Structure 1
Amino acid sequence: MKFNPVEVINPKLYKDIFPYAEIPKIKFNNIQLPMDVSENIWITDTTFRDGQQSMTNMNSEQMVRLYEYLHLLDNGSGIIKQTEFFLYSQKDRNAVEACMDKGYEFPQITSWIRANKEDFKLVKEMGIKETGILMSCSDYHIFNKLNKTRQEAMKMYLDIAYGALENGIVPRCHFEDITRADFYGFVVPLAKNLMDLMNESKINVKIRACDTLGLGVSHAGVELPRSVPAIIHGLKYYAGVPSSSIEWHGHNDYYGAVTNSTATWLYGGASVNTTLFGIGERVGNTPLEAMIIEYAQIKGNIKNINLEVIKEIEEYFEKELRYDIPPKTPFVGKEFNVTKAGIHADGLLKDEEIYNSFDTGKVLGKPPLVAINSYSGISSIAYWINSYFSLKSKEKIQKSDERLITVKNKIDEEYEKGRTSNISTEEMEAMCNMYVLNNKYAYNNKAI
């Protein structure tokens, strides 16, 4: 152990920042760090590991199907670079073997193991090239959970990493609770020791910075330990960790999962860890689909990624896994681009770009819609028909079309009777076919 931690008699718990009886504090030092976006950035997935612990466990067949969906979504781009699995149950091992048999380049299959050398045998027997290893970094964990000194904890972690390298396995070191850890007193020495092991073995060593309680802050000028820019910058420039070996794993406890992951990319980390729809411990992880959108905005493209596959994955989650995606979830919820304001509906009818920031129909297979309720006018009904039935050019219904009056009257009658809920999609489809379209169209512009 070339670099020793700063040993302390009492754990450093940052009680001025984390007074347990109050909401945590953000302390500012106004230090502005330079942005440093790597040429290559990517996404990793932990749906099968961290994600599924928060919902009904998937069987082997379901995991294999979702792996296929991730492959189709990535579509050879390499943006969704890896996904990780448990190896402890026969169900998980069966799923891993079936996924490996697919022979896909992306996402690559990795694993997660406990911090003991016996588990490396399992990783090696299955032919997996990389595994995650838990390395708790804060004194909350070192002193209060492991009952060790910093020196003892660091030695244990390095022994385990060395065991991985002895077996020719890439260790992905999960720096648990990094946003409450003594960065220069423990995190940097541990990372520097790991980089020494990497240089000696000529095998890559990765560091996953785990924001276990979602306490990371993406603002500029924030003090450690909560500053994401300072953590990523510090790992790269004070600990000598290359960008390609820096990964962020965030949770959404303080609504910061996406912004903290983006800050990782902006300040020098190459990889962010995610789950489909943000499933995960407590309030969840960073949503994979959100980071694809962030990637697109930072890099100006999404290479070959096929975003329309997300719609298929949504349907699989809801029908096969019985998982309800909140309807207003950005980009994936059923109502994420459904407007309820009449004036917005009129704007959409005139020019979709007025109230839709990109062509969600073309990119996501989800055209913008309007909700039909007691406040909906003729414009809303006309737009709903054109969007829902994918009517183009001359087929489009104009708001001056007198047939719309009949539909509007039927809707008004419902609310005069005391109805309070929106008119459902099924009701609208039936009324529009009957009174406007004469059963000429079904959903997605397919003739009945």
Structure 2
Amino acid sequence: MSGQNGGTMRENNSTFENRPVTMNEKNNLLEIEEHMYILDDVEKPNVFRNMFPYSEIPKIPFNDRIVPHNMPKEIWITDTTFRDGQQSRAPYTTEQIVTIYDYLHRLGGPNGLIRASEFFLYSKKDRDAVYKCMELGYQFPEVTSWIRASKEDFKLVKEIGMKETGILVSCSDYHIFLKLKMTRRQAMEHYLSVIRECLEEGISPRCHLEDITRADIYGFVVPFCVELMKLMEEYNIPIKIRACDTMGYGVNYAGAVIPRSVQGIIYAIHTHAGVPHALIEWHGHNDFYKAVANSTTAWLYGCAGINTSLFGIGERTGNTPLEAMVFEYAQLKGTLDGMDTTVITELADYFEKEIGYEIPPRTPFVGKNFNVTRAGIHADGLLKNEEIYNIFDTEKFLNRPVLCSVSDTSGLAGIAHWMNTYFKLHGDKQVDKNSMLVQEVKKWVDEEYAGGRITVLTDEELIEQINAACEKLNLTIG
């Protein structure tokens, strides 16, 4: 039997005609109980070579099977800055972790829309950071952990006082057969035994289904999730499912085939494995520039939590940027629900000035040039009305007033506008277009373009000339 969005459905021995017909209260239609899926314990790994021919570019096939939108009433963001975000850069100091965590609390607002943040526990530095973050007493982001699947680590989580921990449960045959050297049944039995040990300690496991976009969704992922839901019922402890697009292969195109279809994966986990919305989380990577689009798609089709990292910092091409999902949330819900987006700019400043991380200048929302207009004709429009070339009121939401670059068309007003916005001058500290400083800089600008220049002036060039003019005129700015 063909599965939703591709794959093969495996049923148990119960016959289709004996299944009850019930009323679906959501759509008021009669339906037959969903099929039951059992593990397909294949002898050889299914690496979907038709979709992932390693010597060619991966392929995106379609079967035009569509699943319905099913966005949960409540959606939220989770953070992996201190876990996946630390796997691609020098480790943060304990003090830096605590400071960033405090920023995340402020950004998430009173409704705790940044729901949780995960931490390593391997080193004393990591554990010290965990203790200090927990001492702050914040409900959100909840401090959670990422550990090895061992009894010793489970006990450590319990001793620290954490309620939840992440556990790696790789789900593609690439990992099961080629890395772990197991069969699917062996892997499932091993994972379930580890998760049971976690539950025995009274800890809520967060199961990281690594490499889900190359996994057999109905042959392994759904049967495994069904067993996890049985354990959840047995122990009465929540078990979260994190769908990890480890290699960034997920796509958000309607009718694409699983395991590449994000909506198909979320549909399968929720509808066929019976995992509640609130226990499904998406973790995306940006290898094919799709991290944000895929994450938003996961929300739209039934996933409550989106796992992110500040500025997308993470392994290889990085994770879904946290700041991007803040604005995706606002666009989907029509409100920020209390999130303080100005903290995003504070975080960007902290990373650059205190941590020494250089944010690419054209990075949306946080790069120094993200709302700078450079084209002369655009600058002219911007000076007349900033809504023409600014995405929203960036000064209100990010403390980042729109900036126009300086060129031969800017004039005295344009140069004055650049100075006031770049140096954040307000009130009587603002420079006027008729000031000696502005006129002195304008002379240099005119000379540049009279000499044949056609490109806009860079920030660095302008700062150099402004400093020189201030020294010549014995003036200070600001």
Q: TM-score, length-normalised on structure 2?
A: 0.86
Q: Secondary structure at the match of 2:230?
A: helix
CA contact (8 A) 2:225 2:269 kept: yes
What residue is the counterpart of 1:318 in the other structure?
352
Alpha-carbon shift at residue 383 of structure 1 (Å): 3.2
1:195 equivalent to 2:232? Answer: no
Alignment-mate amino acid for residue 124 of structure 1? K
Q: Secondary structure at the match of 2:82?
A: helix
- Could you tell me which of 394, 397, 402 is aligned with 1:368? 402
Change beyond 3 A, Cα 1:3–1:35: closer
Rounded Cα–Cα distance in structure 1 between residues aligned with 2:261 and 2:247: 14
Rounded Cα–Cα distance in structure 2 between residues aligned with 1:190 and 1:341: 55
Alpha-carbon shift at residue 409 of structure 1 (Å): 2.0
Rounded Cα–Cα distance in structure 2 between residues aligned with 1:403 and 1:49: 49
Aligned positions, number: 440
What residue is the counterpart of 1:206 in the other structure?
240
Change beyond 3 A, Cα 1:74–1:397: same
1:422 equivalent to 2:422? Answer: no
Change beyond 3 A, Cα 1:277–1:292: same
Rounded Cα–Cα distance in structure 1 between residues aligned with 2:45 and 2:242: 23
What residue is the counterpart of 1:89 in the other structure?
123
CA contact (8 A) 1:338 1:368 kept: yes
1:40 equivalent to 2:77? Answer: no
Alpha-carbon shift at residue 411 of structure 1 (Å): 1.8
1:228 equivalent to 2:265? Answer: no
Q: Superposition pairs for residues 231-380 of structure 1, below 5 Å?
A: 231-373=265-407, 376-378=410-412, 380=414
Rounded Cα–Cα distance in structure 1 between residues aligned with 2:421 and 2:270: 48
Rounded Cα–Cα distance in structure 2 between residues aligned with 1:441 and 1:86: 46
Moved more, 205-214 or 26-35: 26-35
Change beyond 3 A, Cα 1:366–1:429: farther
CA contact (8 A) 1:3 1:190 kept: no
Alpha-carbon shift at residue 316 of structure 1 (Å): 1.6
CA contact (8 A) 2:308 2:321 kept: yes
Deviations 1:139-190 (A, max 9, x none): 0000000000000000011111111111111100000000000000000000
Change beyond 3 A, Cα 1:335–1:55: same
Rounded Cα–Cα distance in structure 2 between residues aligned with 1:297 and 1:433: 44
CA contact (8 A) 1:348 1:383 kept: no
Alpha-carbon shift at residue 30 of structure 1 (Å): 1.3
Deviations 1:417-437 (A, max 9, x none): 79886252533654787899x
Q: Superposition pairs for residues 86-235 of structure 1, below 5 Å?
A: 86-235=120-269
Alpha-carbon shift at residue 73 of structure 1 (Å): 1.5
Rounded Cα–Cα distance in structure 2 between residues aligned with 1:202 and 1:414: 72
Structure 2, unpaired ranges of 5+: 1-35
Rounded Cα–Cα distance in structure 2 between residues aligned with 1:169 and 1:372: 58
Rounded Cα–Cα distance in structure 2 between residues aligned with 1:81 and 1:29: 36
Rounded Cα–Cα distance in structure 2 between residues aligned with 1:113 and 1:395: 53
Rounded Cα–Cα distance in structure 2 between residues aligned with 1:144 and 1:393: 65
What residue is the counterpart of 1:57 in the other structure?
91
CA contact (8 A) 1:349 1:382 kept: no
Alpha-carbon shift at residue 309 of structure 1 (Å): 1.4
CA contact (8 A) 1:340 1:372 kept: yes
Rounded Cα–Cα distance in structure 2 between residues aligned with 1:127 and 1:423: 49
Deviations 1:350-387 (A, max 9, x none): 11111112100111000111223567555532432453
Rounded Cα–Cα distance in structure 1 between residues aligned with 2:434 and 2:392: 27
Percent of aligned pairs with the same amino acid: 56
Alignment-mate amino acid for residue 136 of structure 1? S
Deviations 1:57-77 (A, max 9, x none): 112111111111111222322
Change beyond 3 A, Cα 1:3–1:123: farther
What residue is the counterpart of 1:410 in the other structure?
444
Rounded Cα–Cα distance in structure 1 between residues aligned with 2:63 and 2:413: 52
Rounded Cα–Cα distance in structure 2 between residues aligned with 1:402 and 1:102: 51
Rounded Cα–Cα distance in structure 1 between residues aligned with 2:411 and 2:191: 65
What residue is the counterpart of 2:105 in the other structure?
71
Moved more, 302-311 or 216-225: 302-311
CA contact (8 A) 2:433 2:439 kept: no
Alpha-carbon shift at residue 92 of structure 1 (Å): 0.5
CA contact (8 A) 2:437 2:469 kept: no
Rounded Cα–Cα distance in structure 2 between residues aligned with 1:423 and 1:104: 40
Structure 1, unpaired ranges of 5+: 443-448
Q: TM-score, length-normalised on structure 1?
A: 0.92
